[in-house]
Amino acid sequence: LQGIFVLGLPYALLHSGYSGLFLIILAAALCCYTGKILIACLYEENEDGRLIRVRDTYEDIANACCKKLAPQLGGIVVNVTQVMELIMTCILYLVVSGNLLSHSFPYVPVTEKTWSVIAFVTLLPCVFIKTLKIVSKLSQLCSLVHFIIIFVVMTYCLTQIHQWSWAKFRLSIEFEDFLVSVGVIIFSYTSQIFLPALEGNMKNPGEFRCMLNWTHFFACVLKTTFALTAFLTWGEETKEVITDNLPSFLQTLVNLCLLTKALLSYPLPFFAATEIVYACISRGNHSNYSSTLFALGVRGSFLLLTLLMAMFIPHFALLMGLTGSVTGAAMTFLLPSLFHVKLKWKKLSFLEKCADISVFILGFLCSLAGIVCSIKGLLEVFG
């Protein structure tokens, strides 16, 4: 919830003004809600009225919803959507790593793509990751690095408190710029892809809802505080990535921290994507696909695929925006609300039904707006 997207939040406030602060809070509440209803779809009541976990993955939920239409259709759609988003996330980390290295060492005569290859070499041990425990340890380190970055930026901003002014906030906004802000804010909270596995691996799954409440609350407080202090410091000069606003002596330090964060963030989406693909391939009694060597082959292929796409796809940021608008909105808003209505309709109260339908409509509008903006950007680039 505190990913690299956080560094774009001050820029989002530049284009959304006061409404951006409201959006940060609203997005936290909505993403927390869809996370809860998604996990609720994993459970059914038994004869004694107790909740039993009858499904394990996002795919299982989708298949349960589509079993009358086509038993495997829902799972296929969800798996393709998940893998697309996860691969795009991995590629983004490689692209960001190459960019950060080139900016940190501008005097070294090496291209950005070559820096991406160097970053890729450090990620090769990812092929040996077998459990979520290893990923969680790396994620802990990633969180520590993230807080160092936030601390450095906010400390500098507090030294500039004498020039803060609320007059820097916009009252009027342009619609297209506002849509960009909505995308940045909403997708800085997305975590639904990982939630079924996370809840299933918890020592006490009964604490899941409480955990989700607190993590989204603290994420919201941190995002709001960070975005606000950074925007009040730089105002109209706020750049897309706020660390670019820092003085040069701090920029190199923060860029290296960001590089570390990007590399430590890579294993989580990589592990999730390879697990989905490996599970799909080895489903059933295919003994040929259960070997360690085959698992290493799947992970190695994915690792190489992310590097090749990062190096050879032009205008990757725009393509990622287009994919993110489709997959991100679908996995965060559309599918959780749709599945919850489908599986729990008879047990939902009137207000819960209204909430699910409202979230679905909101997700559809966000997705549609993001697709239109991304396609427009691609058309402008390609003339």
From 65-74, 81-90, 284-293, the region with the lowest mean pLDDT? 284-293
pLDDT band at residue 324 using 50, 70 and 90 as cut-offs: low
Q: What is the pLDDT of residue 315?
A: 64
Q: What is the pLDDT of residue 172?
A: 67
156 pLDDT higher than 60: yes
Q: What is the pLDDT of residue 218?
A: 93
Tens-place pLDDT, residues 35-49? 999 999 999 988 887
Arithmetic mean of pLDDT, 224-240: 90
**CA-based end-to-end distance of the chain:** 36
Q: What is the pLDDT of residue 158?
A: 93
119 pLDDT higher than 70: yes
Q: What is the pLDDT of residue 322?
A: 67
Arithmetic mean of pLDDT, 292-318: 82
From 168-172, 182-186, 257-261, the region with the lowest mean pLDDT? 168-172
Rounded-to-integer distance, Cα 310 and Cα 277, Å:
20
Is 5-285+293-382 a domain of CATH 1.10.486.10? no
Dmax of the chain from CA atoms?
70
More reliable by pLDDT, 86 or 188? 86
Rounded-to-integer distance, Cα 97 and Cα 59, Å:
32
Q: DSSP characters for 91-123?
A: HHHHHHHHHHHHHH-TTS---HHHHHHHHHHHT
pLDDT band at residue 264 using 50, 70 and 90 as cut-offs: very high
How many degrees, rounded to 5, is the angle at CA 247 between CA 244 and CA 251?
55
pLDDT band at residue 320 using 50, 70 and 90 as cut-offs: low
Mean pLDDT score across all residues of the chain: 85
Asked if 45 and 346 touch (Cβ cutoff 8 Å), the reply is no
DSSP 247: -
287 pLDDT higher than 60: no
Domain chopping of the chain, boundaries: 5-285+293-382
Closest CA to 25 of 233, 229, 231, 189: 189
Rounded-to-integer distance, Cα 190 and Cα 32, Å:
9
Q: What residues does 43 pair with on adjacent strands?
A: 53
Q: What is the pLDDT of residue 288?
A: 53
Tens-place pLDDT, residues 43-71? 998 888 788 999 988 888 988 888 877 77
Residue 44 φ/ψ, nearest 5 degrees: -135, 155
CB neighbour class for 174 (10 Å; exposed up to 12, middle 13-18, buried from 19): exposed
Helix axes 292-312, 112-122, angle to 10 degrees: 160
124 pLDDT higher than 80: yes
Q: What is the pLDDT of residue 280?
A: 80
